[in-house]
Structure 1
Amino acid sequence: MSILILTRSDDNESVAMVTRAIEARGERVIRLDSDRYPTDLRLSMDLDPAGHRTTMRVGNAAFELGEVRSIWLRRHHIAAALPTDMDAQLRAGAVAESRAALFGLLGSLDAFWMDPLPVIRWAGQKPLQLKLAQELGLLVPRTLITNDPDRAREFARDCPGGVVAKMLSSFRVLDDGIEKVVFTTPVTEAHLEQVSGLRWSPMTFQQRVRKKLELRVTIVGQRVFAAAVDSQAFERATEDWRRDGLAMLDAWRPYALPAGVERRLLALMSRLELNYGAVDIIVTPDDEHVFLEVNPSGEFFWLERCPGLPISDAIADVLTGRAARCLRVAYDRAAGAPL
């Protein structure tokens, strides 16, 4: 039997870490770089009265995907290698068909997924996360998501400790070929004077939370790994630690989560039907733990280096069936209730 890792050619060392951990458990790993499909990688499903067979060819190597028992949906960038000078409509159609074929063929396998793409997309909705977290008893910041300038101004007036603005999506812009990310930003009076621009795009505003520490809590199955960093010791990271993440790589330390917080985070993961998630939390000067969000595909590789959390081993255990997995319930997404 094999474990399939669905990723992309330019992924980081996380894939190698998990691959080593899986192979140490005596299992075979098949790596599928989605950006190489359909240009360099061949996938076929043969269906006839005798049954069906799904195969993958990469160069001279061939793989029987029917033996795959688990799939780690790590990253995907399907059809990225298609020629950029193709007719725009034809290229869009080829990308759409490649996406449908890849996920359709893999979806036909009798395999456990960590985690299925529809679950990742549903669970990744930050308004849903905040609502569920609050219902489960986790502290969350006062939040406004709006495209109404008047409501934004009113919200800022009602938060005397200050307000920050952030994006629900991974908003990036290219400036002379350099990728720039929109980080969490304090809202100033000058910003409020320009808030009429919300008519072009909504934005998320949150009450500013004072920070003693920032936590990255990685949850794999039923295992919880918490690490803390003093972001306030880094000038560029005071509002968003990602802004100076490279400088902070060696500053992370193990952190003991209060039992009640850990229990509620596991309950949240269960409600979101996730086997993997990277949670961001603020610890206030009063030692309150304030939930911000959970990223269903969040990074973890630097936490293996410092402070040395065995996250890849936990992922390997879930994928190989050696550790408990989330038992998924079919949900009515509109009503939020089990079917």
Structure 2
Amino acid sequence: MNKILIITHTGDNFSIEKVTEYIEKNNCEVIRFDVDLYPLQNKLSTIFQDGEWVSYLETADAKIRVDDVAAVWYRRAYNIGNGLKEEMDSKFYGAAMGEIRNTLFGFLESFDCYSLGKPSVYRRLDSKEEQLKIADKIGLKIPATCLTNNPEEAKQFIIKHKNVVAKMQTGFAIYEDGVESVVFTNVVKEDKFEELESLLYCPMQFQKMIQKKRELRVTVVGQDVYAFEIDSQQFEDAKVDWRKDGVNLIDKWLPTELPKDIEEKVLELLDVYNVDYGALDIIVSPEDDYYFIEINAAGEFFWLDNLTEGNLISKSIADVLCDKAPRRNNMVLA
């Protein structure tokens, strides 16, 4: 029976169970490795001797030879080394965490089987600038954009385009007194020019504000494209950034179809990156122009999956992992 390794964490959502269910229906076995249990409970070992490389992955339930794994889903890597800080002298903690991360990500990077996601893939897709340049090159529309830490460049961009939004390029959050405050997309006008001086300390991305007829979330798995839309302009808190009101909108998304030329370009984008999973944000303007905003290498999909009959996104993920559906070959070491 083929073994499918899922890399995630203990706090992940129920999408893991749905994908696992479909993997088992494909007569494959799931091995789950939670990174927040590494290194205190889960263990990794790689040995080269007598001309042979052997790697082992150990959980509380099993010890697995990695060359017995047919495919890997690198889903999440949150809270690595959980509990370690309380177990060791604080002066060693930072250095130890550096070794833990390097070992874990090196281990994940070196799989010589098919992998749906890798640390290096996630790092590359973190570049919003490259995303936009590639999308533009393959013919997707993108908004006028300025990425800068120069206040003067930002001011000139805002003066030229008038209606401009500012956003962070990462999941930017501020923690104060144990409370997390996520920085969402916001409108920036000339009356905010004084605040732009803070760009000297932290760059931002600015884009011409696209009027929204609809917003799309497009999840691509292999060659399967699942598009959903929402009229975010009906909801005050969602007008600029739908994530602000994401919980209230969770059951208001509707399945939709992409125009054929847009779907072809979306699939071409994944071809360029050589990945089999991506969650794209697209804005449809009142003129029915489709504007690519970004692609997320590990974007969430569970709330959309629940809107399909039979959790079809989970099924597509399982089919790609089990080699039951077309996939882009990324077996570098094979």
Instruction: Please indicate the TM-score interval, normalised by the length of the shorter structure.
Output: over 0.9
1:116-143 C-alpha deviation (Å, 9 max, x unpaired): 2112211221000101111111110000
Distance in 1 of aligned mates of 2:21 and 2:330: 28
Moved more, 2-11 or 75-84: 75-84
Partner of 1:97: 99
Residue 225 (str. 1) matches residue 226 (str. 2): yes
Report 1:57-136 matches (<5 A): 57-59=58-60, 61-77=62-78, 78-84=80-86, 86-136=88-138
Residues 200, 242 of structure 1: CA spacing in aligned structure 2 closer, same or farther, 3 A cutoff? same
Structure 2 unaligned blocks of 5 or more: none
Give the number of aligned pairs. 329
| Other structure's SS at 1:110 match | coil
Give the one of 309, 312, 320 matched to 1:310: 312
* 8 Å Cα contact 2:131/2:294 also seen in 1: yes
Moved more, 51-60 or 284-293: 51-60
Partner of 2:281: 280
Kindly provide the amino acid, as one letter, of the partner of residue 193 in structure 2: L
Shift of 1:2: 0.4
Distance in 2 of aligned mates of 1:26 and 1:278: 27
| Other structure's SS at 2:54 match | strand
Report 1:226-305 matches (<5 A): 226-305=227-306
Kindly provide the amino acid, as one letter, of the partner of residue 266 in structure 1: L
Residues 59, 126 of structure 1: CA spacing in aligned structure 2 closer, same or farther, 3 A cutoff? same
| Other structure's SS at 1:83 match | helix
| Other structure's SS at 1:214 match | strand
Moved more, 140-149 or 113-122: 113-122
Residues 60, 152 of structure 1: CA spacing in aligned structure 2 closer, same or farther, 3 A cutoff? closer
Moved more, 9-18 or 245-254: 9-18
* 8 Å Cα contact 1:5/1:31 also seen in 2: yes
Distance in 2 of aligned mates of 1:329 and 1:43: 21
* 8 Å Cα contact 2:172/2:183 also seen in 1: yes
> Structure 2 length as normaliser, TM-score?
0.93
Distance in 1 of aligned mates of 2:164 and 2:183: 16
Residue 187 (str. 1) matches residue 164 (str. 2): no
Kindly provide the amino acid, as one letter, of the partner of residue 99 in structure 2: E
Distance in 2 of aligned mates of 1:133 and 1:328: 21
Shift of 1:301: 0.3
Shift of 1:85: 7.0
Kindly provide the amino acid, as one letter, of the partner of residue 261 in structure 2: G
1:71-127 C-alpha deviation (Å, 9 max, x unpaired): 111001321331247444411221122222223334444311111211221122100
Kindly provide the amino acid, as one letter, of the partner of residue 153 in structure 2: R
Distance in 1 of aligned mates of 2:129 and 2:8: 27
Moved more, 318-327 or 126-135: 318-327
1:226-269 C-alpha deviation (Å, 9 max, x unpaired): 00011111111110111111101110110110000011111111
Structure 1 unaligned blocks of 5 or more: 331-339
Kindly provide the amino acid, as one letter, of the partner of residue 198 in structure 2: G
Distance in 1 of aligned mates of 2:159 and 2:46: 59
Distance in 1 of aligned mates of 2:97 and 2:170: 22
Partner of 1:333: none
Comparing both chains, which one has the higher relative contact order based on Cα–Cα distances under 8 Å and sequence gaps of 6 or more?
Answer: 2
Partner of 1:173: 174
Kindly provide the amino acid, as one letter, of the partner of residue 42 in structure 2: L
Considering only aligned residues, what root-mean-square deviation do their CA atoms show, in Å?
A: 1.9
Residues 221, 195 of structure 1: CA spacing in aligned structure 2 closer, same or farther, 3 A cutoff? same
Residue 324 (str. 1) matches residue 326 (str. 2): yes
Percent identity, aligned pairs only, is 40
Distance in 1 of aligned mates of 2:251 and 2:61: 42
* 8 Å Cα contact 1:123/1:274 also seen in 2: no
Partner of 2:152: 150
* 8 Å Cα contact 1:252/1:307 also seen in 2: no
Distance in 1 of aligned mates of 2:109 and 2:199: 39
Distance in 1 of aligned mates of 2:305 and 2:40: 34
Partner of 1:335: none
Partner of 1:336: none
Distance in 1 of aligned mates of 2:111 and 2:172: 34
Shift of 1:177: 1.6
Residues 229, 34 of structure 1: CA spacing in aligned structure 2 closer, same or farther, 3 A cutoff? same
Partner of 2:197: 196
Partner of 1:5: 6
Residues 328, 48 of structure 1: CA spacing in aligned structure 2 closer, same or farther, 3 A cutoff? closer
Distance in 2 of aligned mates of 1:107 and 1:199: 35
| Other structure's SS at 1:137 match | coil
Moved more, 147-156 or 60-69: 60-69
* 8 Å Cα contact 2:114/2:331 also seen in 1: no
Shift of 1:50: 6.4
Kindly provide the amino acid, as one letter, of the partner of residue 156 in structure 1: I
